[in-house]
Each structure stands twice: as structure tokens, then as C-alpha cells.
Amino acid sequence: MSVDAPGVVAVDVHALREEVKNKYREVAIDPHGAHHFHTGRYLARHLGYDDTLVASLPDAAVESFAGVANPFSLRPLSKGERVVDVGSGAGFDSFVAAHQVGATGQVVGVDMTEEMLAKSRSTVSKLGLKNVEFREGLAEQLPVEDGWADVVISNGVINLCADKRATFSEIHRVLRPGGRLQFADIANGKPVPESAIRNIDLWTA
Amino acid sequence: MLEDSGFVDIVIGPSVDTFGGAGGESKARLFEVFGYPFLARKPG
């Protein structure tokens, strides 16, 4: 299926998802491999995450982190808040969120890549966290009920969604009235040629 | 697009040189790609 409408990039949506899954499967399995972006503890420090908190997390929670900025930098989360992490990967931002919302809060991470879900779920089990869970799903079809979340976070994920309008609409659906969207993503200052946008290989290159 | 989706009070934070020193740096420089934190609120 190819889509071409406002907020929707004309690419084969399913092919793009598979390309993204393949890329992030690599990041889950081989986080220190040759990727075009930084990963792990170096990246977390580069993006300004709290050193002490990051140091307290096990390698499995941090090494596959591949975010693009810090979604907590403009506003930290509050105790007791309910959080959805869209494209949670191996769980790094979900674990940071869990620390900020505390035991009375709740974090639901959503990801479509099996290897990332296996890694994040394993870390939850090892850490014995009761306020974090990871669900399989798509950014455009979040497995979360209407109005459940106080906050939705995401990091470097929405730029990889072909239908950004559908993604923002879905995030709006799961937020309660007055809820916040705190996300980090990339933006380009110079226009990318249409031919490059249509080349799926370049989305994750 | 955030406004079109019903969000208000949109704040964009300072840029971060996400790809500086990484393998994708040259492509990022070509199109001036940087990372940003965003904050927005659902009315209510």
C-alpha cells in the first residue's frame, strides 16, 4: 500500500515498516555494531540524560538506546503519572519515565520489533519493576484505551512513520484531556528531495 | 501538524547535534538535520 496525502509520505507503508523493523532488530541484537547513529550510554550522556540515573540502569536497558534528543528536557514527569512510550525499543526512555513517575505511576511501552520487546521485557523482569509493561503494537494503532495517559513520550520514532498525521491523531486519542505529548525527533533545515523521500532504503540509512 | 491534530501550547526546545561524530553525520549536515525536544498539550 502506498499513500500520498497531507502529512503522509508516498512510500509503501508495509515495506517501510519492515525496513525499520530490520534496522532496529540489528540495534537490539548488535547495539555496538556499525550504525549511522550513536547508541547506548555515550548517546544518553550526549543528549543530556541524568548520569546517575543512567548509571543505575543495566546494560540491556541502555545499550540499544538510539534516541535523537531528550523528551524529558522541557518538563520532567510527575509522581503518579500514567505514561505511554511510543516506539519504546529496548525500553530506555520507559525506564527513565518509570523512575520519574515512581511506584504510584505506570508506564506502557509500545513497540513493533519483536527483538526489542524481548529485550525490554527481560529487563523489566530482571529489575522486578511492577509499574512498567511493554506491549506489541504500531504507533498508528496504539494498544491503549482512550484517554488513559497523562503523558505520551516518544524518541526518534515519529520521523520513521509514513503517516505522521495518523500517529499524532492516535497519540491524541490515548491522552486524557489536559494530557501532554513530550517527544524528541529530528527535523531538517534543508528540504530533502522527493526522490530521496520515496527511497525507503534512505529512511534508515 | 501538531496543531492540526488538536494539540496546543506547543514548545520546541533547543537543537541537539544528534549525528555529530556518528556515521550519518555527513548526510545530516547535508540536510541540516538536528534533534529537538517537543512539548504539546491536549486541550481540556
What CATH number does the domain containing A150 carry?
A: 3.40.50.150
The reported pLDDT for the residue numbered A203 is 65
**Structural domain contains residue B3:** no
Q: Find the largest Cα–Cα distance for chain B.
A: 43
Contact A146, A173 (CB under 8 A): yes
Q: Is A32 on the interface with B (CB under 8 A)?
A: no
pTM score: 0.93
The reported pLDDT for the residue numbered A200 is 62
User: What are A184's strand-pairing partners?
Assistant: A155, B37
Number of structural domains (chain A) is 1
**Structural domain contains residue B16:** yes
**Structural domain contains residue B14:** yes
**Structural domain contains residue A193:** yes
B1, B4, B5, B7: best to mutate for the A interface, most A CBs within 10 A:
B5
What domain range includes position A111?
A: 13-203
**Structural domain contains residue B20:** yes
Burial of B26 (0-12, 13-18, 19+ CB in 10 A): exposed
The reported pLDDT for the residue numbered A204 is 65
What domain range includes position B33?
A: 8-41
pLDDT at A196 over 80: no
The reported pLDDT for the residue numbered A201 is 61
Q: How far is B32 from chain A (nearest CA, A)?
A: 5
Higher pLDDT, A8 or A117: A117
Number of structural domains (chain B) is 1
Closest CA to A20 of A189, A174, A166, A201: A201
pLDDT digits (tens, 9 = 90+) for A49-99: 999 999 999 999 999 999 999 999 999 999 999 999 999 999 999 999 999
Q: How far is B42 from chain A (nearest CA, A)?
A: 5
Higher pLDDT, A118 or A203: A118
How confident is the model over B14-26, as a mean pLDDT?
Answer: 93
List Cα–Cα distances, A70 to A5, A76, A103, A168, B16, in angstroms.
30, 10, 22, 19, 9
**Structural domain contains residue B36:** yes
Whether residue B42 and residue A35 make contact (CB cut-off 8 A), yes or no, is no
Contact B39, A181 (CB under 8 A): yes
As for the ipTM of the complex, it is 0.95
Query: Smallest Cβ distance to A180: which of B1, B35, B41?
Result: B41
Among residues 48-87 of chain A, which lie with CB inside 8 Å of chain B? 48, 67-71, 73-75
Query: Residue A1 — very low, low, confident or very high, per pLDDT cuts 50/70/90?
Result: very low
Among residues 92-121 of chain A, which lie with CB inside 8 Å of chain B? none
* CA A98/CA A84 separation, integer angstroms: 11
**Structural domain contains residue B2:** no
**Structural domain contains residue A6:** no
**Structural domain contains residue A158:** yes
The reported pLDDT for the residue numbered A4 is 43
Backbone angles phi and psi of A8, in degrees to 5:
-120, 125
**Structural domain contains residue B33:** yes
Query: Nearest residue of A to residue B6 by CA position?
Result: A172
B43 to chain A: which residues are within 8 Å by CB? 177-178
Query: Residue A2 — very low, low, confident or very high, per pLDDT cuts 50/70/90?
Result: very low
